[in-house]
Structure 1
């Protein structure tokens, strides 16, 4: 009964979740077709789909077709789906963004294109699986638990790589407390994997049969749900913090350049005061970097809503040739509503004076807000 409940819960939750994730993937793909993170959403969603598909196949084979769940065909199908799931997770790992050193498995995946890695992974495992199938299919003395040995090492390696990458990603986002659920996910996967390879009759002398079955169901469902939860949190943080992280990364690069220029400046002053022209040039570059850093620091502290970004984007494109009334009409909002947005934006940006409109246009162009524009400026000949 517990196993049947696990199949139904896993199939319903994972298939619905996979559908939602793939809807998110297609929407994000339209906005940015080259992003590695977008590809990661696809592979994470496919991994969750495989869990749901595997549970659905077990319901069909065991409940409807009335095949024993210990039948080798059912076991072979489960191993195949699990290996495909591991492949999907491996392909998704490079999309987990952080500034720390990559895990060795991620570096291995990054050496190949997606097509090359799928071919390599499938080729190696198909050869190993062929040997297992030939040896076990007609041999009744070989336990079904032995067949899972094809999948166990891969699952553990993937689980460790996932733990490593998730921990680094959350730490990079100042969410170090998420290391605990990441480690819990790893532990649950290890328990679920161990439960597969240990025959039930071997545990009857130590643990009650009902408790052993319940343990397998709880860990099997729990690690899938925790995986979905962690991915959702990671997706949320990527979705809403990616722009700020990009600016922060650029800020760090510019800060590093500033320090390098300061060191060069100091060495030149000490070495030869006659190189005044060189020193003047370096000082000018330092000043430019400081201004840019100041601008970036200010922009990272400014939190604009999507609607305010759209207003600024439209103003940046059309503001020089259109009035507020014309832009408001193009956006299908009232003039009062548009001016309210302008007032709130000026308040956030601390802009005042008669040239407020020009300042807003300059800010929109400088901070790359034109991409949020919802109307297009039609130039006149």
Structure 2
């Protein structure tokens, strides 16, 4: 009766938990915040819980519908099969438990294989189970004892997986500042040990040492308790991982923001220095331009040619008649002496800085170029 109640509770709770966790898995898979390994871990945990639920459901079908006894080879073999499947899924899920400590040796070995290779290894173990089942079915002499031997295949694997799970959970909770979770994880390990070893002891032998009803109650209680505790610890681990991931994401965003802020400040300082440098350069250039302009004005003022009206008249007359007439002829036309005319020519050459044998031609060209012909007082014949 107790075993039936245990199977009903296990089937209902585990199947519901599976569908809930699967929803969480699909929801988290859509997010890019978490690593693929972490999200895949949710899937394997969900399948581990599903294996319990399916195993309990099939146990109910075979014992309640088809009236197989709990101690039959078929029922026990189904239980062993789904227990091994549960161990497989837990092993595949453990590497997704995030922490910074060294991995358990079992997990390090599992991580060396792909998921496909792990399934092949477990497939070999399941073949062994089938062989043991056939041998026990055809050579059965003491029913319960022979059938219970099948659990010997599952018990070592379950204990190894339970120990690896204990270590990885403790490391994860330690890294998350949740050392108070050590006690529940250790309790989970003890419950698993009691539950799996409970299966192998023959009832005939056990009855000599303890009341059968009490023994069965211990088996049912530990079986239900460790499954409930497993689901509870997984939910706590899942949400602590989620909160940790969100915290790390926010810290990462904060670090990126701080880095961007420092970068902008650095660029601003660089631009400020460059701007100040450019302003100083502009000031220096303006100052230099002003100095050059002033110097130019001074040179222009110093080099400005100032001719008297009489000199302009002489230059104008020379410009009109100089190519046809001599200095003497131009002087007579102007009614001045030749010496006076030549004195004017000499002073004009000095002002205009003209020298050489072609001085006359240069003076004529200057008069025409600078529009001095309007000052002429004689006309060209």
The alignment's TM-score, normalised by the length of structure 1, stands at 0.64
Aligned match of 2:9? 9
Structure 2 Cα separation of the partners of residues 223 and 292 of structure 1: 42
Aligned match of 1:359? none
Aligned match of 1:237? 240
Structure 1 residue 292 displacement after superposition:
5.2
Indicate if the aligned counterparts of 2:45 and 2:89 stay in contact, CA closer than 8 A. Answer: yes
Gapped regions of structure 1 (runs ≥ 5): 252-290, 299-381
Indicate if the aligned counterparts of 2:73 and 2:133 stay in contact, CA closer than 8 A. Answer: no
Alignment equivalent of 1:155, drawn from 133, 155, 158: 158
Structure 2 Cα separation of the partners of residues 36 and 90 of structure 1: 13
Alignment equivalent of 1:203, drawn from 203, 206, 211: 206
* CA 246–160 in structure 1, closer or farther in 2 if over 3 Å, else same: farther
2:196 is equivalent to residue 193 of structure 1: yes
Structure 1 residue 8 displacement after superposition:
0.6
Aligned match of 2:348? none
2:220 is equivalent to residue 217 of structure 1: yes
Structure 2 Cα separation of the partners of residues 292 and 242 of structure 1: 15
CA deviation vs aligned residue, 1:183-204 (integer Å, no higher than 9, x gap): 0000000000110011112111
SS at match of 1:101: coil
Gapped regions of structure 2 (runs ≥ 5): 262-381
Structure 1 Cα separation of the partners of residues 108 and 173 of structure 2: 19
CA deviation vs aligned residue, 1:187-230 (integer Å, no higher than 9, x gap): 00000011001111211121111100100000000000000000
Aligned match of 1:288? none
* CA 156–246 in structure 1, closer or farther in 2 if over 3 Å, else same: farther
CA deviation vs aligned residue, 1:261-313 (integer Å, no higher than 9, x gap): xxxxxxxxxxxxxxxxxxxxxxxxxxxxxx959938x9xxxxxxxxxxxxxxx
Query: Bigger radius of gyration, 1 or 2?
Result: 2
Structure 2 Cα separation of the partners of residues 175 and 34 of structure 1: 22
Count of matched residue pairs: 256
Structure 1 residue 247 displacement after superposition:
6.5
The alignment's TM-score, normalised by the length of structure 2, stands at 0.64
Aligned Cα RMSD in Å? Answer: 2.2
Aligned match of 1:24? 24
SS at match of 2:138: coil
2:249 is equivalent to residue 295 of structure 1: no
Structure 2 Cα separation of the partners of residues 78 and 20 of structure 1: 24
Structure 2 Cα separation of the partners of residues 6 and 59 of structure 1: 10
Structure 1 Cα separation of the partners of residues 91 and 224 of structure 2: 21
Aligned match of 2:149? 146
CA deviation vs aligned residue, 1:46-97 (integer Å, no higher than 9, x gap): 0001111111111111011111111101111111111111000000000000
Aligned match of 1:78? 79
Structure 1 Cα separation of the partners of residues 68 and 134 of structure 2: 21
